[in-house]
Amino acid sequence: MLTNIKAVLFDLDGTLIDSAPDLGAAADQLRVNKGLPPLGLSLYRPHTGTGARGMLKVAFQMEPDHPEFTDLKEAFFVNYEQNLVVRTAPFEGVQELIESLNARGLEWGIVTNKSERFTTPIVRKIPLLSLAKTVISGDTTSHAKPHPAPIFEAMKRMGFNPQDCVYIGDDERDIVAGKAAGVKTIAAGYGYLGDARDIVKWGADINIYSPLDLLKWLPES
């Protein structure tokens, strides 16, 4: 058990919410606009954690150095912005997890690399997320994960020290950022792992495979 933990910090996509359906749909809309058939969610899902870069690579085999990448990325963002929570929802078990954290007197916040342009409306539209003590987006600080700055900012706003906190995410950069910030780290093996299926290699303090697995590692009160 992680003793003396007072706050839990979460990554957003792939950890608290399943946003793959809406992100994949935004990319497929680009294909449809170009007269190409949609690819479907199953191809996009594993790469959701890499954002626009991953979605455009799946949709068009396009890398960031492609001359059309910047324009297509913004078109992707516009598509996504118009349909942020059509099919996006908390993962199964997250509602109960958050209720249990509240019952145990543990505060919680969100630290994501998603830009505020998307994070703020998503948090506003999903009531459960609006209960977060703080929300740090990818552009809240001058650095995004794997830099520890966003986690430091979350702790500062919540009034906690590294020894008080644990950070959970579904990408290796989450674990890198958490370790650099001096907090305990948990790898979410149920998220968007892409090609990195062996989360044990990330070196997190704990690995879990469903949201509710987290509870057995946290103080009861």
Domain containing residue 30: 20-81
Residue 11 bears catalytic tag: yes
Distance separating the N- and C-terminal Cα atoms of the chain: 12
| CB proximity list for 103: less than 8 A, separation 6 or greater | none
Q: Specify whether 33 is located in the same domain as 123.
A: no
- pLDDT band at residue 196, thresholds of 50, 70 and 90? low
- For residue 195, pLDDT over 90 is answered with no
**And the tokens for 18?**
């399943």
Q: Specify whether 102 is located in the same domain as 50.
A: no
**And the tokens for 202?**
């990330």
Looking at residue 179, its pLDDT comes to 98
CA-CA distance, 158 to 117, in Å (whole number)? 22
What is the rounded average pLDDT of the residues 19-48? 95
What is the rounded average pLDDT of the residues 80-85? 96
Give strand pairing partners of 135: 110
Q: Specify whether 70 is located in the same domain as 119.
A: no
**pTM for this one?**
0.95
Determine, yes or no, domain membership for 126: yes
Out of 13, 22, 170, 174, pick the active-site residue.
13
Q: Give me the CATH number covering residue 170.
A: 3.40.50.1000
Task: Give the chain's domain count.
Answer: 2
Residue 13 bears catalytic tag: yes
Residue bearing the bigger pLDDT, 78 or 51? 78
Q: Specify whether 181 is located in the same domain as 77.
A: no
- For residue 197, pLDDT over 80 is answered with no
Q: Specify whether 45 is located in the same domain as 101.
A: no
Looking at residue 141, its pLDDT comes to 98
Q: Specify whether 71 is located in the same domain as 112.
A: no
Q: Specify whether 38 is located in the same domain as 110.
A: no
- pLDDT band at residue 193, thresholds of 50, 70 and 90? confident
What is the rounded average pLDDT of the residues 52-76? 96
- pLDDT band at residue 44, thresholds of 50, 70 and 90? very high
| CB proximity list for 75: less than 8 A, separation 6 or greater | 30, 33
- For residue 72, pLDDT over 70 is answered with yes
Out of 11, 18, 171, 174, pick the active-site residue.
11
What is the rounded average pLDDT of the residues 59-80? 96
What is the rounded average pLDDT of the residues 152-168? 98
Determine, yes or no, domain membership for 1: no
- For residue 49, pLDDT over 90 is answered with no
